[in-house]
Copies of this chain bind each other. A is one copy, B any other.
Protein backbone atom coordinates (compact mmCIF):
# COMPACT_ATOMS: atom_id res chain seq x y z
CA UNK A 1 0.00 0.00 0.00
CA UNK A 2 2.75 2.43 1.05
CA UNK A 3 4.87 1.54 -1.98
CA UNK A 4 1.90 1.98 -4.30
CA UNK A 5 1.21 5.38 -2.79
CA UNK A 6 4.86 6.40 -3.08
CA UNK A 7 4.99 5.32 -6.70
CA UNK A 8 1.96 7.50 -7.37
CA UNK A 9 3.55 10.54 -5.77
CA UNK A 10 6.85 10.08 -7.58
CA UNK A 11 5.12 9.73 -10.92
CA UNK A 12 2.95 12.77 -10.25
CA UNK A 13 6.07 14.84 -9.48
CA UNK A 14 7.80 13.73 -12.70
CA UNK A 15 4.72 14.34 -14.86
CA UNK A 16 4.15 17.78 -13.37
CA UNK A 17 7.81 18.72 -13.85
CA UNK A 18 7.73 17.50 -17.46
CA UNK A 19 4.65 19.55 -18.26
CA UNK A 20 5.93 22.69 -16.54
CA UNK A 21 9.33 22.47 -18.25
CA UNK A 22 7.68 21.81 -21.61
CA UNK A 23 5.65 25.00 -21.26
CA UNK A 24 8.00 27.36 -19.45
CA UNK A 25 11.43 25.75 -19.60
CA UNK A 26 13.89 24.61 -16.96
CA UNK A 27 14.92 27.94 -15.48
CA UNK A 28 11.41 29.30 -14.88
CA UNK A 29 10.29 26.09 -13.18
CA UNK A 30 10.87 26.05 -9.42
CA UNK A 31 10.63 23.20 -6.95
CA UNK A 32 7.95 25.08 -5.03
CA UNK A 33 5.68 25.29 -8.09
CA UNK A 34 6.36 21.62 -8.85
CA UNK A 35 5.43 20.54 -5.32
CA UNK A 36 2.26 22.66 -5.35
CA UNK A 37 1.01 21.50 -8.75
CA UNK A 38 1.93 17.85 -8.07
CA UNK A 39 0.13 18.01 -4.69
CA UNK A 40 3.28 16.80 -2.94
CA UNK A 41 5.22 18.33 -0.06
CA UNK A 42 8.62 19.89 -0.76
CA UNK A 43 9.97 17.24 1.62
CA UNK A 44 8.66 14.41 -0.54
CA UNK A 45 10.07 16.05 -3.69
CA UNK A 46 13.51 15.96 -2.03
CA UNK A 47 12.85 12.45 -0.72
CA UNK A 48 12.37 11.12 -4.24
CA UNK A 49 14.86 13.47 -5.90
CA UNK A 50 17.73 14.27 -3.54
CA UNK A 51 19.57 15.84 -6.50
CA UNK A 52 16.85 18.52 -6.67
CA UNK A 53 15.84 20.31 -9.84
CA UNK A 54 18.64 18.95 -12.01
CA UNK A 55 17.82 15.36 -11.16
CA UNK A 56 14.13 16.09 -11.74
CA UNK A 57 14.91 17.69 -15.09
CA UNK A 58 16.66 14.52 -16.26
CA UNK A 59 13.57 12.49 -15.28
CA UNK A 60 11.29 15.03 -16.96
CA UNK A 61 13.30 14.86 -20.19
CA UNK A 62 13.09 11.04 -20.09
CA UNK A 63 9.34 11.24 -19.48
CA UNK A 64 8.92 13.69 -22.38
CA UNK A 65 11.11 11.50 -24.58
CA UNK A 66 8.91 8.44 -23.95
CA UNK A 67 5.76 10.46 -24.52
CA UNK A 68 6.93 11.86 -27.89
CA UNK A 69 8.21 8.39 -28.89
CA UNK A 70 4.70 7.05 -28.28
CA UNK A 71 3.28 9.92 -30.37
CA UNK A 72 5.64 9.09 -33.25
CA UNK A 73 4.84 5.36 -33.03
CA UNK A 74 1.10 6.01 -33.33
CA UNK A 75 1.54 8.74 -35.98
CA UNK A 76 3.79 6.58 -38.17
CA UNK A 77 1.28 3.72 -38.00
CA UNK A 78 -1.31 5.86 -39.78
CA UNK A 79 0.31 5.08 -43.14
CA UNK A 80 2.38 2.12 -44.35
CA UNK A 81 4.37 4.26 -46.74
CA UNK A 82 6.99 6.32 -44.86
CA UNK A 83 6.56 9.39 -47.10
CA UNK A 84 2.78 9.41 -46.51
CA UNK A 85 3.45 8.75 -42.81
CA UNK A 86 5.47 11.98 -42.56
CA UNK A 87 2.56 14.01 -43.90
CA UNK A 88 0.17 12.31 -41.48
CA UNK A 89 2.60 12.83 -38.59
CA UNK A 90 3.11 16.57 -39.16
CA UNK A 91 -0.64 17.02 -39.57
CA UNK A 92 -1.32 15.40 -36.18
CA UNK A 93 1.53 17.32 -34.57
CA UNK A 94 0.15 20.63 -35.90
CA UNK A 95 -3.36 19.76 -34.72
CA UNK A 96 -2.18 18.84 -31.21
CA UNK A 97 -0.05 21.98 -31.00
CA UNK A 98 -2.95 24.20 -32.06
CA UNK A 99 -5.25 22.51 -29.53
CA UNK A 100 -2.77 23.23 -26.73
CA UNK A 101 -2.91 26.95 -27.61
CA UNK A 102 0.56 26.57 -29.22
CA UNK A 103 2.03 25.87 -25.78
CA UNK A 104 2.90 22.15 -25.74
CA UNK A 105 5.85 22.02 -28.12
CA UNK A 106 8.73 19.58 -27.93
CA UNK A 107 9.00 18.30 -24.34
CA UNK A 108 12.79 18.27 -24.49
CA UNK A 109 14.05 21.22 -26.58
CA UNK A 110 13.68 24.17 -24.21
CA UNK A 111 15.26 22.38 -21.27
CA UNK A 112 18.03 21.00 -23.50
CA UNK A 113 18.85 24.44 -24.90
CA UNK A 114 18.84 26.10 -21.49
CA UNK A 115 21.28 23.52 -20.14
CA UNK A 116 23.73 23.48 -23.05
CA UNK A 117 27.23 23.57 -21.65
CA UNK A 118 25.97 23.86 -18.08
CA UNK A 119 24.25 20.59 -17.12
CA UNK A 120 25.86 17.62 -18.89
CA UNK A 121 23.42 15.11 -17.35
CA UNK A 122 20.42 16.95 -18.83
CA UNK A 123 22.19 17.26 -22.19
CA UNK A 124 22.90 13.52 -22.10
CA UNK A 125 19.21 12.75 -21.44
CA UNK A 126 18.25 15.03 -24.36
CA UNK A 127 20.72 13.28 -26.67
CA UNK A 128 19.20 9.92 -25.66
CA UNK A 129 15.74 11.34 -26.38
CA UNK A 130 16.66 12.42 -29.92
CA UNK A 131 18.37 9.08 -30.56
CA UNK A 132 15.27 7.13 -29.45
CA UNK A 133 13.10 9.18 -31.84
CA UNK A 134 15.59 8.71 -34.70
CA UNK A 135 15.47 4.94 -34.04
CA UNK A 136 11.70 4.97 -34.68
CA UNK A 137 12.22 6.77 -38.02
CA UNK A 138 14.97 4.29 -38.97
CA UNK A 139 12.64 1.37 -38.20
CA UNK A 140 9.84 2.88 -40.27
CA UNK A 141 12.20 3.36 -43.23
CA UNK A 142 13.79 -0.09 -42.83
CA UNK A 143 10.39 -1.76 -42.99
CA UNK A 144 9.84 0.02 -46.32
CA UNK A 145 13.12 -1.37 -47.67
CA UNK A 146 15.41 1.65 -47.26
CA UNK A 147 19.11 0.87 -46.88
CA UNK A 148 20.52 1.29 -43.37
CA UNK A 149 22.88 4.20 -44.14
CA UNK A 150 20.21 6.11 -46.08
CA UNK A 151 17.71 5.55 -43.25
CA UNK A 152 20.24 6.69 -40.64
CA UNK A 153 20.77 10.04 -42.37
CA UNK A 154 17.09 10.57 -43.16
CA UNK A 155 16.24 9.92 -39.48
CA UNK A 156 18.43 12.85 -38.46
CA UNK A 157 16.69 15.20 -40.87
CA UNK A 158 13.18 13.96 -40.09
CA UNK A 159 13.59 14.61 -36.35
CA UNK A 160 15.52 17.87 -36.83
CA UNK A 161 12.97 19.28 -39.26
CA UNK A 162 10.09 18.23 -37.00
CA UNK A 163 11.84 20.10 -34.18
CA UNK A 164 12.52 23.23 -36.20
CA UNK A 165 9.09 23.33 -37.83
CA UNK A 166 7.35 22.79 -34.49
CA UNK A 167 9.29 25.69 -33.00
CA UNK A 168 8.43 27.90 -35.97
CA UNK A 169 4.76 26.86 -35.71
CA UNK A 170 4.77 27.89 -32.04
CA UNK A 171 6.39 31.24 -32.71
CA UNK A 172 4.07 32.10 -35.61
CA UNK A 173 1.04 30.34 -34.10
CA UNK A 174 0.41 28.69 -37.45
CA UNK A 175 0.20 25.12 -38.76
CA UNK A 176 1.90 26.12 -42.03
CA UNK A 177 5.55 25.36 -41.10
CA UNK A 178 4.60 21.80 -40.07
CA UNK A 179 2.41 21.23 -43.13
CA UNK A 180 5.26 22.31 -45.41
CA UNK A 181 7.70 20.15 -43.42
CA UNK A 182 5.52 17.09 -43.94
CA UNK A 183 5.39 17.57 -47.70
CA UNK A 184 9.11 18.27 -47.96
CA UNK A 185 10.00 15.22 -45.87
CA UNK A 186 7.83 13.14 -48.21
CA UNK A 187 9.68 14.54 -51.25
CA UNK A 188 13.03 13.91 -49.57
CA UNK A 189 12.13 10.32 -48.67
CA UNK A 190 10.80 9.68 -52.17
CA UNK A 191 14.00 11.04 -53.69
CA UNK A 192 15.98 8.44 -51.71
CA UNK A 193 14.02 5.41 -52.94
CA UNK A 194 16.87 4.51 -55.30
CA UNK A 195 15.36 6.31 -58.27
CA UNK A 196 12.09 4.37 -58.15
CA UNK A 197 8.64 5.92 -57.53
CA UNK A 198 8.62 9.70 -57.25
CA UNK A 199 5.84 12.12 -56.41
CA UNK A 200 4.27 13.99 -59.36
CA UNK A 201 5.43 17.35 -58.02
CA UNK A 202 7.21 18.83 -55.01
Q: Interface on A for B, CB 8 Å cutoff?
A: 23-28, 101-103, 105, 109-110, 112-114, 116-118, 123, 126-127, 130, 150, 153-154, 156-157, 159-165, 167-168, 170-172, 176-177, 180-181, 183-184, 187-188, 191-192, 198, 202
Contact = CB atoms under 8 A, between A and B. Distances in A.
Contact of A161 (B127, B157, B187): B157
A44 to B, nearest CB: 26
A150 B184 CA distance: 11
A130 B163 contact: no
Q: 8 closest Cβ contacts across the A-B interface?
A: A164-B164, A27-B27, A160-B164, A163-B164, A192-B202, A110-B113, A160-B165, A25-B114
B156 A113 contact: no
Number of copies: 2
Contacts of A160: 161, 164-165, 167-168, 177, 181
Nearest to A190: B191
Given A113-B170, A157-B181, A160-B161, 11 more contacts: A28-B114, A110-B110, A110-B114, A112-B171, A127-B171, A130-B172, A156-B168, A157-B161, A157-B165, A160-B164, A163-B163
A102 B114 contact: no
Contacts of A181: 156-157, 160
A159 B168 contact: yes
Contacts of A110: 110, 113-114
Contact of A157 (B114, B154, B170, B184): B184
